[in-house]
Amino acid sequence: MVESILFVITKRLPVVHVLLVAGAVLLGAPGDAPADQHDEGLDGLFEELAAAESLEEALSVERQIWHTWLDAGDEAVNREMKDGIRAMSNRLFEQSIQHFTQVIEMAPDFAEGWNKRATAHYLNDELVKSMRDIQKTLNLEPRHFGAISGVGLIFMQQGDDRGALEAFEEVIKIYPLAPGANAHIERLRIKLQEQRI
């Protein structure tokens, strides 16, 4: 699954972006040691997420997944993550990027450090850097529906509706009831259909 979304990314980005992103993939390719995102309990949670019959049930499982993803298993790393999240919530994006960079330096195989920095880069309108960090996140945690949603949002911002649709369709393969992804899919399908008329 990660291969298909990475293909979508590289297929859709302008050439200069592809070169930058490809470098990030090579730097973080196989050989990375598993981190806490590979907690054995996640497999069962993802099965529950895929089988959820109500949005309430799905959101409950989603919260458990995020709780697991956010725990680096190291007090110092977790503290740095909290500082970064607090800075990002206060729209101090450069400061949050510094915190998440520190997280990555302390725990380079911790997927959520990369994902949070990708989010901060996105909010700081640094889309190439965001995409690079998303790819690293997906190398470490291919099921990261938040990171894949980030791909969709970046493509939407770039005006690539087809690429965005493909990304959000990947999200619902993992998280069928994902409210944001499903809403985007509905809007994008309508928009693309109107463009063909």
pLDDT of res. 5: 53
pLDDT band for 174, please (50, 70, 90 cuts): very high
pLDDT digits (tens, 9 = 90+) for 113-171: 999 999 999 999 999 999 999 999 999 999 999 999 999 999 999 999 999 999 999 99
pLDDT of residue 195: 86
DSSP for 62-107, written as a single string:
HHHHHHHHH--S-HHHHHHHHHHHHHHHTT-HHHHHHHHHHHHHH-
d(CA 116, CA 129): 12
pLDDT of the residue at 138 = 97
pLDDT at 1 over 90: no
Chain length of the chain = 197
Give the model confidence (pLDDT) of 103-113 as tens digits.
Answer: 999 999 999 99
Residue 113 CB-density burial (10 A; 0-12 exposed, 13-18 middle, 19+ buried): buried
3-state helix, strand, coil in the chain (%, to 5): 80, 0, 20
CA atoms of 61 and 57, how far apart (whole Å): 6
Report which of 19, 9, 23 is spatially closest to residue 158, judged by C-alpha positions: 9
Q: At what angle do helices 2-12 and 15-27 cross, to 10 degrees?
A: 150
**What H or E segment, with its residue span, contains residue 165?**
helix 161-174
What does the pLDDT read at residue 24?
33
pLDDT tens digit sequence for 40-82:
899 999 999 999 999 999 999 999 999 999 999 999 999 999 9
pLDDT confidence of residue 40: 86
- Tens of pLDDT along 6-46? 545 545 544 333 323 333 333 333 333 333 677 889 999 99
CATH 3.60.20.10 for domain 2-11+37-196: no
